[in-house]
């Protein structure tokens, strides 16, 4: 067999191996990018969902603040009368609050009322922690994606522990 044909076969094998290796590398990069986008989407969705309630619990300076007395709970909502503690507010016979954020029947809790509604949001540390619970869940889910899809185990552990601590703190504060 002539040397040139052996050499040609060797060059072809080398080229096909490089093409296969580069395709595999491209797949690895694509997997990391897709999983990173998925983890980012989960985190953004968690912040977006939490912010709807957290803005009222955290930024209460220009809002209507007062005390709510829980009189009845049905389903996932508790209702009761509201009396303002500041100047511009008005008494309301019935406002509603999420049952998870409400104290036991007959208990009083400091709340702020969402503008234009009769929905109250708990304020203070317990209200703020409760508002960020969806973000804590998103951290836990994103940690699974980061660990499994991106193989960044330490980052995933940190994200998962932060989510678990936030959930635990919200549970303890209620």
Q: How many domains does the chain have?
A: 2
Same domain, 158 and 111: no
Residue 162: pLDDT band with limits 50, 70, 90: very high
Tell me whether residue 140 is in a domain.
Answer: yes
Tell me whether residue 127 is in a domain.
Answer: no
Pairs from 104-109 (Cβ < 8 Å, separation ≥ 24): 104/70, 105/70, 105/71, 105/72, 105/73, 105/78, 106/69, 106/70, 106/71, 107/69, 107/70, 108/67, 108/68, 108/69, 108/70, 109/67, 109/68, 109/70
This prediction has a pTM of: 0.80
Same domain, 70 and 118: yes
Tell me whether residue 89 is in a domain.
Answer: yes
CATH number of the domain within which 93 lies: 2.40.50
Same domain, 22 and 53: yes
Same domain, 69 and 52: no
Same domain, 53 and 12: yes
Residue-level pLDDT at 77: 93
Question: For 120-156, how does the pLDDT look when each residue is reduced to its tens digit (9 = 90+)?
Answer: 999 889 999 999 999 999 999 999 999 999 999 999 9
Question: What average pLDDT does this structure show over 77-84?
Answer: 93
Same domain, 51 and 66: no
Residue 5: pLDDT band with limits 50, 70, 90: low
Same domain, 165 and 117: no
Tell me whether residue 93 is in a domain.
Answer: yes
Q: Containing domain of residue 90, as a range?
A: 62-122
């Amino acid at each position: 067999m002539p040397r040139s044909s052996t050499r040609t076969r060797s060059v072809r094998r080398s080229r096909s191996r490089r093409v296969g290796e580069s395709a595999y590398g491209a797949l690895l990069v694509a997997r990391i990018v897709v999983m990173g986008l998925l983890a980012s989407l989960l985190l953004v969705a968690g912040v977006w969902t939490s912010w709807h309630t957290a803005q009222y619990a955290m930024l209460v300076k220009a809002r209507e603040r007062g005390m709510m007395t829980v009189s009845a709970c049905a389903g996932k909502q508790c209702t009761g009368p509201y009396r303002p503690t500041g100047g511009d507010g008005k008494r309301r016979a019935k406002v509603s609050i999420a049952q998870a954020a409400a104290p036991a029947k007959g208990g009083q809790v400091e709340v702020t009322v969402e503008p234009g509604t009769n929905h109250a949001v708990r304020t203070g540390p317990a209200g703020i922690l409760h508002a960020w619970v969806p973000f804590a869940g998103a951290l836990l889910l994103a940690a699974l994606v980061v660990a499994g899809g991106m193989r960044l185990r330490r980052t995933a552990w940190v994200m998962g522990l932060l989510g678990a601590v936030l959930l635990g703190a919200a549970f303890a504060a209620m």
